[in-house]
Structures are given as structure tokens and as C-alpha cells.
Structure 1
């Protein structure tokens, strides 16, 4: 009689589809509205920096946000690591500064640069630490503030959310995505 063994290990990296990261980001934006996500991130950040108050959101909403942002950061990291890129380079035609937002012209043209810059400055573990710290400090009253600079990772997260949304939006408009390696440097 043959024993059947159940494999309880994660299969995240095994047999991944070709565009798994894009699918994960699309799913993120299907479940989380961009504006609502940025507002919740802003709210969590502001309560994390206040000493004598805590966020009024339901803890389950905060926990879901925490988990969603961690998976979003990982998807962005793996998207950035791909050698054969699948994004468009759009030509800038008199783009208004309001359209650019936090992006530079190059970042608007190639949103993958936002992820490259963010992960050059911070690792996945540092982003996880930042997100966990924000959630921790926003949910209670503490005598001390976070020991690290929380503004730079916050700005990177906001820019990554915008860049991912821009990538998904452009993917829907144009099915042929290609970027040269030298565009990323």
C-alpha cells in the first residue's frame, strides 16, 4: 500500500505563469481602489506619527490592508526583477505637471523606474518592517515614536501604487509591451 504525502509547502514560486506579477497587481486593484488605498495609507501614516491617538478603523480592515500591501510590494519587486520586460514606453507630448503628480518625466514614461528606485533604496524586508511599524503604531497609544524615518518609504509606496496603476492602465490600452534593457538604467 502506497502512502500519500501531502505537501504543505507554499507553491508560490513553482510553475508560475509568465505574467504572474501583473496578474497579482491587477487583482490588488480589483480588490482595493487606488484612491481608498492611498487614503487608508495616509490615515495609517498620520496616526502612526501621532502620540496620543489611534486609528478608528476596524482592526480587520487594517490587517487586510497590511497583508495586501505586503503582497503588492513583493509583486512589484518581482516585476522589477524580470529581464524580459513587458511595459510600454510612452512618448511625452506636452504632459501637464498635474498629470505627472509625484513622477518625473522619465518615471511617467517608464513606470518601472519607480520600482527600480524604491528597491534600490529599500529591500523587501525594510518595506515589510515599515508597513508593520506603521500598522503597529497607528493602532495604539505609545510613548515613543518609530525610530526610523518613515516618510521616505511612505513616498515610495505612494509612487509604487501610482506606477502600478499606470502600468495596468497602459496594459489595457495597448497589448504590445516592450522595453529595452538600457531604458531601465
Structure 2
């Protein structure tokens, strides 16, 4: 039985359809840099409780970033099982703690662990709900009460951004084991 591929839905924001998650990372980080994605995610979260909408003058751009993040989550979900066949090229013997970003030393050595941990704790639908809710709440000029844990998926998504950047920088190779 042939496995069906998950559409990464990149045509909305990248202007082309990308199916390979490793090619996706290249396109994703060409579209915007890691700092922009992390800053935007932070602003989304900060604006969930504010009476002002995030980027009120350009809600269309916020929607485009939302679709890029959705594509990113889909790519991350497909990357979570890739460590059996592939591995990320070794980290330098000595690395800067700043380059490690939000990752532990173990995660920095094997960024695939980040995706496994994230999707063991939260389902893709839960991440999608999180992304939809923080985007919706950040665009709303009203303070709304919510009982959803935004912090856990936010931390996972931040770590996934860092792990994805490391994979795209170091590259991958086939696992010989």
C-alpha cells in the first residue's frame, strides 16, 4: 500500500508547491529569516491579551505568515520520523551556546529529537489549533478569556524553528546504521 504524502500547502505563501520537507526548509528560510519567524510568533502570543490588533494595517501579511507557519508544522511532522534513515551532519567540536539557541545539547546534536518530542506531546491538530487561535486572538482588538495552554505549543514551535534552521544549515546525510 502506497503512503499518501501530506501536502505542505506552500503555494499560498511561497508561490510554488514544495513536497520534500528538506527542500521546504530551504524555501521557508529564503522567504524570511529565523529571527523574523521567532519575533512574529512572539508578537502573536503577546497580542493575544491586548486590546490592539497585531499589525492592524496589514492583516493580509499576518494571514500569509499564518499559512507559512501551518506549512512549517506539516513539514516538521513529516521530519519527525526521518532520523531512522537520515541524520544531520555533525555539529562542530566547539559550538557557541548562542548557536544552540533554545535547544539542549542533545537536541543540538540531533535536531530530529525536537520534532519527536513535540509531536509525542501534542498532535498536529493541537498545533494547528494553537496557531489558529493565537493568530485569531492577535488580530482581534478585544481581550478574550481563554483556557487553552499557549505556552507549551509556543515553546515547542520555537524549538522546532531552531531545529529546522540547524538542519538547513548543516545539511543531512544517510544514516549508515
Q: Is the 8 A contact 1:87 1:179 kept in 2?
A: no
Partner of 2:157: 157
Following the alignment from structure 1 to structure 2, what is the Cα–Cα distance between the partners of residues 116 and 142?
A: 36
Q: Write out per-residue CA displacement over residues 87-144 of structure 1, whole angstroms, 9 at most, x where no aligned residue.
A: 2252563444333221111100000000011001101100000000001100113342
Distance in 1, Cα, partners of 2:136 & 2:91:
42
Alignment of 1:1-185 (within 5 A): 13=5, 20-50=20-50, 52-57=51-56, 58-82=58-82, 84-88=84-88, 90=90, 93-171=93-171, 176-178=173-175, 180=177
Change (3 A) 1:118 1:157: same
Q: What stretches of structure 1 of length at least 5 have no aligned partner?
A: 1-11, 181-185
For the 8 Å contact 2:44–2:134, the answer to whether it is kept is yes
| Separation of aligned partners in 1, 2:141 and 2:88 | 46
Larger radius of gyration between Structure 1 and Structure 2:
1
Q: 1:120/1:95 Cα in 2 relative to 1: closer, same or farther (>3 Å)? A: same
1:32 CA drift (Å): 2.0
The separation in 1 between residues aligned to 2:83 and 2:154, in whole angstroms, is 27
Q: Which runs of 5+ in 2 are unaligned?
A: 7-18
Q: TM-score, normalised by structure 1?
A: 0.78
TM normalised by structure 2 equals 0.81
